[in-house]
Amino acid sequence: MVNRGPDWMRQAGRDLEQAEDSRAADRHEWACFAAHQAAQKAVKALHLHLGQEAWGHLVARLLTELPDKAEAPPELVDRAKILDNYYIPARYPNGHPEGAPFEHYGRLQSEGAIEHARAVLGFATAAVAGRPKR
């Protein structure tokens, strides 16, 4: 079977670019969601690189399911937990008690989400290259 990990990693990079573009356009809810997607795809790429499939959308869980040789540091898992909060509420009005998603996200959230996604991508990229980033 063909290893699709590189495809997932390239898409992760593209999703991170989308997060940055959305932040610049003041579409902070989309920046947060795209940052989550970038991190999720990067970790799935790492799983594929290691010869295993990964299912689901929670980046923190995907990180904790990595084998010991690619174990994610606890602070990275904490960053992923923040990103996981952007998977549904950043897109759906019923993810908040009231208001549209865009009314709940601003520059602080999108900048933080992008920073956390960069950290996850950096970790996954380094692990794929054989030099774990701790």
State the pLDDT at residue 3.
Answer: 84
Q: Which has the higher per-residue pLDDT, 53 or 77?
A: 77
State the pLDDT at residue 56.
Answer: 94
Spatial separation of the C-alpha atoms in residues 25 and 112, rounded to whole Å: 16
Q: Domain residues for 63?
A: 5-128
In a domain, 45, yes or no: yes
State the pLDDT at residue 101.
Answer: 96
pLDDT band at 100 (very low <50, low <70, confident <90, very high): very high
The number of distinct structural domains making up the chain is 1
Residue 22 contacts residue 31 (beta carbons within 8 Å)? yes
What's 19's domain CATH number? 1.20.120.330
Assess whether pLDDT exceeds 60 at residue 134: no
State the pLDDT at residue 132.
Answer: 56
State the pLDDT at residue 36.
Answer: 98
In a domain, 78, yes or no: yes
Assess whether pLDDT exceeds 80 at residue 41: yes
Core vs surface per residue 108-131: b (16+ CB within 10 A) or e: ebbbbbbebbbbbbebbbebbeee
Residue 10: count other Cβ atoms within 10 Å of its Cβ.
12
State the pLDDT at residue 59.
Answer: 98
In a domain, 134, yes or no: no
In a domain, 64, yes or no: yes
Both tokens of 9, joined, read: 């990693």
Assess whether pLDDT exceeds 80 at residue 58: yes
Spatial separation of the C-alpha atoms in residues 87 and 101, rounded to whole Å: 12
Phi, then psi, of 114 in degrees rounded to 5 = -65, -40
In a domain, 100, yes or no: yes
Spatial separation of the C-alpha atoms in residues 128 and 6, rounded to whole Å: 9
Assess whether pLDDT exceeds 80 at residue 78: yes
Spatial separation of the C-alpha atoms in residues 97 and 9, rounded to whole Å: 35
Assess whether pLDDT exceeds 90 at residue 60: yes
- Which pTM was predicted? 0.94
